[in-house]
Amino acid sequence: MRNICVIGGSRYFGKHLVTLERDAGNHVTVINRGSTEPLPGTTTLVADRDDERQLRAALGTRTFDVVVDQICYTPRQAELARRVFAGRTGRYVMTSTMEVYDPATFATPPPGPAAAPLTEGHLDLAALPAARDTDGGADPATAYAEGKRRAEAVLLSDPEFDTVSVRTAHVLGGGGEDFTGRLAHYTERIAAGRPVDVHPDPRPTSFVHHREIARFLRWAAAGTFTGPVNAASHGALDVTGLSELIGAEAGVRPRYRTVAEGAASPFSFDRSYAMDNGRAARLGFDFSRVEDWLPGAAAESLAHLA
């Protein structure tokens, strides 16, 4: 039995991760603010992860085989976590995002072939600006991506423990698991015969099912590798490919309307930053294909509309 700590982990795919670990016979400790009911068979510590004194008090003398951090968004949070968990764990898995690659969120986009699937090495964390935290005046998408980039840089540079940053693709699930509401955006519009707003030349992006990313995080927590790793189902899709798969499930041919950049639907991008999942595959994770699970997720979303 392993001793697992999950920071966050009370909702969405974090809850799936906690359930997988618990059902495998591991002891799971969840750290959150106490706003949700704890899962049976787990231990909940109530603390604000931004309050170092409160977090240390809640942890007491506890140590863990691995910590999975679901809610690390800024370098300040990463620095605090590195201080608090130094000596408490030998492995730390941070849930990051594919948004770290988005060229639209860089002041100067990184060099490289923008149209190619992006490997982990495409982002040079050491080349990030040295500022301690993100610019509060930045737009939300840029602040989110830059916060994740710099949080990764803090944890991966001169680490106190073996560290992995999992760069997740866009997570999708149907029905009650559609935590962003983005899949519902498509199923509602397509089922009603309303047009999907797209860029003139939409570019592909990467996706992963909500249960697959939970399995991936559990696999990463049990591994021995370190560094950044991309997590995405096989098969990048642009907005029309996504819509066609949903339309086939709905029995409706999607309609499209070309719009200006700011008005496009979610997952319609005018730049490519689909991810290469080759590192994780070589390390032994068996990804699904997006075409295999997206119809089922769309069916769940369509049923949720009824």
Fill in the amino acid letter for 12: Y
Are 80 and 54 in contact, with CB atoms under 8 Å apart? no
Parallel, antiparallel or unpaired: strands 227-231 and 162-168: parallel
Query: How much is the pLDDT for 27?
Result: 97
Sign of the torsion formed by the C-alpha atoms of 168, 170, 272 and 97: negative
Query: How much is the pLDDT for 111?
Result: 59
Which residues have CB under 8 Å from 290's CB, separation 6+?
207, 208, 233, 234, 235, 236, 237
Are 240 and 191 in contact, with CB atoms under 8 Å apart? no
pTM for the predicted model, two decimal places? 0.94
Are 28 and 226 in contact, with CB atoms under 8 Å apart? no
Other C-beta atoms closer than 10 Å to the C-beta of 71 total 17
> Topology of 3-176+207-233+274-288 in CATH?
Rossmann fold (3.40.50)
Query: How much is the pLDDT for 9?
Result: 73
Query: How much is the pLDDT for 298?
Result: 94
Query: What's the rounded Cα separation, in Å, for the pair 99 and 106?
Result: 11
- Rounded mean pLDDT for each run of 10 residues along the chain, 306 residues in total: 90 90 96 84 94 97 97 95 96 97 82 73 83 63 93 91 97 82 94 95 95 97 98 97 96 94 86 94 98 95 84
Query: How much is the pLDDT for 305?
Result: 80
Q: Where in the chain are the domains?
A: 3-176+207-233+274-288
Query: How much is the pLDDT for 36?
Result: 78
- Mark out the alpha helices in the chain (DSSP H runs): 12-23, 52-59, 75-85, 140-156, 182-191, 210-222, 239-250, 278-283, 290-305
